[in-house]
Amino acid sequence: MKIFLAQQNYHIGNFEHNTAKIIEAIKEAKHHNVDLLVFSELCICGYPPRDFVDFKDFIDKCFQAIDAIKPYTDEIGVIVGAPDRNGAIEGKDLFNSAFLIYQQKIQGIAHKTCLPTYDVFDENRYFEPAFNWNVIEFKGKRLAITVCEDIWNLGHNPLYRVCPMDKLMEQKPDIMINISASPFDYTHDEDRKATIKSNVIKYNLPLFYCNGVGSQTEIVFDGASLIFDREGNLCKQLPQFIEAIDGVELNDDGTIDEPVIEPAVANAYSLLEPEHLSETLNIPQIHDAIILGITDYFGKMGFTKAIIGSSGGIDSAVTLALACKALGAENVTAVLLPSEYSSTHSVTDAEQLSITLGNLYHIVPIKTVYNSFLTLLKPIFKDLPFSLAEENIQSRIRGNILMAMANKFNYILLNTSNKSELATGYGTLYGDMAGGLGVLGDCYKLQIYELAKYINTSKEIIPLNIIDKAPSAELRPDQKDSDSLPSYDILDKILYQYIERLQGPAQIKALGYESHLVDGILKMVNANEYKRNQFCPIIRVSPKAFGVGRRVPIVAKYLG
């Protein structure tokens, strides 16, 4: 039996687009004489559809899309993901389901049991978990079809009380098929392979795993669909971050005649662990995920052109380089907005960067506008000393100029804030925190230096001076980040323990960090929730990004 996987990039709620893509893949698979073609989770509507599924109209459109696909299934079995209605009186009204369509009919439907409701996931908000389980017959084989999280309930402390594959095994299936929408983060590629292999070993069955690809607002899906034979050998791995359709011939005895792939050994170090020990931090993968995040944000929103405030600092430099790569330098405009506190090298470095990248740039000094604000506010501010207010006025003037140009020329402002400053509140709301998409908001400063080096691998794209100089907001004379913040080498590691590792103050101090430093940093993180709450979506590359996956009360007093 020839089984192929179609990892595709869907547009949420765009049924016409998604259905056309699915039909196109079916046609291509037919050319390869494929018996069974597997798509990803909720491919019909795109994942995650969020509260759209609360609309009857939206669910009706999902069923209409399935009907539109049926005529193409005379000679080929197709597994698609879509919401299904729950016929039972009790419980939520929808399931998250896999539909096997063949010979123009729905041959069987498998509902998802393990509904992820943590981090960026809200599935229990919408769906009822499956409460009975059946294999689905196809061409004489018994398929155990599961959806994404269903095969992740392993380990010594499983999150769910029911393991659907255990239930399905009672019916002696021949093949495991899993349709997924499993987001990228820099640990995920390894976790995924290990988890899928564990299932193969546990159940002694081949496993066909199809994951979606593409970025959906903040969440990047990386594809990398997999096929394992029943011995636990990886037989096929679809590429990461791009669409693909591929598969294997599965022999009757569950074996697969393909050369075994040795999974690539990941770049197993971490800048963020105290001892650079256990975590993986895959800079090339992070780079590619961000590129896809930018490309899909623009493509799916119908935009082509970006604008970026280019300060001569490393964050805006890396953002600009990534934007030029994602959108083409001809679609990116940089604006240098020097103030009286900007150093000369800020302008020259930023100019050099744009010259190298080949993008359009403007220099718009903000001094005259800044002075007009000071004059206007003089009767109110009187002779009060220079303070945060004046710093923020400058930053917000820049935000206003960038947004005005964006509005005038139909650009999207890309935000350059990094995770370290978002965590500590070291940024100005409506100023440098403005923008439509946070390109680097899930990368700590240390990671941004690594990204800069990676971008410079074969050529000095980002001027070395930008990488080497001390970070500064340049909003008052001789300001340095280190005036207000601990060194990033310490700050980032403490933040990482708190944010990604969910370690409390005592646990972090036990790693050897100074008590007042830990308390001060954790307090800053919690006190600045109000700022992050008004921040744009951030391209997620870590297991715990700010935004939809991290939900912390704004009005609270914990560790503060």
Identify residues 139-198 at the interface with its own copies (CB under 8 A): 156-161
Q: Give the tokens for residue 211.
A: 């994951």
Q: If you ran DSSP here, which 8-state letter would residue 54 be given?
A: G
CB 495 within 8 A of CB 274: no
- Distance in Å, CB of 339 to its own copies, minimum: 13
Q: Which of 376, 482, 484, 514 binds its own copies (CB under 8 A)?
A: 376
Strand-strand pairing, 213-216 and 219-222: antiparallel
d(CA 177, CA 141): 12
Q: Which residues are catalytic?
A: 41, 112, 148
| Complex with its own copies: residue 117 or 479, whichever CB lies closer | 117
- Distance in Å, CB of 450 to its own copies, minimum: 28
| Complex with its own copies: residue 470 or 506, whichever CB lies closer | 506
The secondary structure element, H or E, covering residue 111 is strand 105-111
Stretch that binds its own copies, among 196-204, 240-248, 370-378, 511-519 (CB under 8 A): 370-378
Whether residue 48 is preceded by a cis peptide bond, meaning omega within 30 degrees of 0, is yes
Q: Which of residues 413-432 bind its own copies (CB under 8 A)?
A: 429-430
| Complex with its own copies: residue 201 or 389, whichever CB lies closer | 389
Task: Give the contact letters, 504-543, x = binds to its own copies (CB under 8 A), - = no.
Answer: xxxx----------------------x--xxxxx------
Stretch that binds its own copies, among 49-57, 256-264, 348-356, 458-466 (CB under 8 A): 49-57
Task: Give one DSSP letter per residue of 121-149, joined into a string.
Answer: --GGGTBPPP-----EEETTEEEEEEEGG
d(CA 162, CA 145): 15
With left for phi above 0 and alpha for psi between -120 and 50, is residue 309 left, alpha or beta? beta
Q: If you ran DSSP here, which 8-state letter would residue 474 be given?
A: -
User: How many residues comprise the chain?
Assistant: 560
Q: Give the tokens for residue 87.
A: 């016929």
d(CA 519, CA 516): 5
Q: What are the angstrom distances between the C-alpha of 509 and each of 353, 486, 516, 524? A: 41, 15, 9, 16
- Distance in Å, CB of 372 to its own copies, minimum: 4
484 counts as binding its own copies under rule CB under 8 A: no
Q: Which of residues 317-356 bind its own copies (CB under 8 A)?
A: none
Task: Give the contact letters, 197-226, x = binds to its own copies (CB under 8 A), - = no.
Answer: ------------------xxx---------
| Complex with its own copies: residue 102 or 535, whichever CB lies closer | 535
- Residue ranges of E strands in 383-468: 412-415, 437-438
Q: Which of residues 435-474 bind its own copies (CB under 8 A)?
A: 436
With left for phi above 0 and alpha for psi between -120 and 50, is residue 232 left, alpha or beta? left
Q: Which of 277, 459, 502, 516 binds its own copies (CB under 8 A)?
A: 502
Q: Which of residues 395-414 bind its own copies (CB under 8 A)?
A: 396-397, 399-401, 403-405, 407-408
Residues binding its own copies: number (CB under 8 A): 99
Task: Give one DSSP letter per residue of 151-217, joined into a string.
Answer: G---SSS-SSS--HHHHHHTT--SEEEEEE--B--TTHHHHHHHHHHHHHHHHTS-EEEEE-EEEET
- Distance in Å, CB of 288 to its own copies, minimum: 19
Q: Tell me which residue of 90, 102, 81 sits closest to 7, measured CA to CA.
A: 81
122 counts as binding its own copies under rule CB under 8 A: yes
Query: Which residues, including other chains, have CB under 8 Å from residue 323's CB and lie 6 or more apart?
Result: 294, 306, 308, 332, 414, 439
SS3 at position 86? coil
Q: Which of residues 54-113 bind its own copies (CB under 8 A)?
A: 54-58, 88-93
| Complex with its own copies: residue 430 or 454, whichever CB lies closer | 430
- Distance in Å, CB of 93 to its own copies, minimum: 7
| Complex with its own copies: residue 260 or 554, whichever CB lies closer | 554
Stretch that binds its own copies, among 63-71, 122-130, 179-187, 347-355 (CB under 8 A): 122-130
Rg (C-alpha) for the chain, rounded Å, is: 26
- Distance in Å, CB of 296 to its own copies, minimum: 7
| Complex with its own copies: residue 102 or 546, whichever CB lies closer | 546
| Complex with its own copies: residue 293 or 471, whichever CB lies closer | 293
| Complex with its own copies: residue 294 or 462, whichever CB lies closer | 294
Helix, strand, coil shares of the chain, percent, nearest 5, are: 40, 20, 45
- Distance in Å, CB of 183 to its own copies, minimum: 14
Stretch that binds its own copies, among 72-80, 179-187, 249-257, 364-372 (CB under 8 A): 364-372
31 counts as binding its own copies under rule CB under 8 A: no
Stretch that binds its own copies, among 134-142, 203-211, 346-354, 549-557 (CB under 8 A): 549-557
CB 133 within 8 A of CB 164: yes
| Complex with its own copies: residue 13 or 239, whichever CB lies closer | 13
17 counts as binding its own copies under rule CB under 8 A: yes
- Distance in Å, CB of 291 to its own copies, minimum: 16
| Tokens 């969910």 -> residue | 502
20 counts as binding its own copies under rule CB under 8 A: no
Whether residue 338 is preceded by a cis peptide bond, meaning omega within 30 degrees of 0, is no
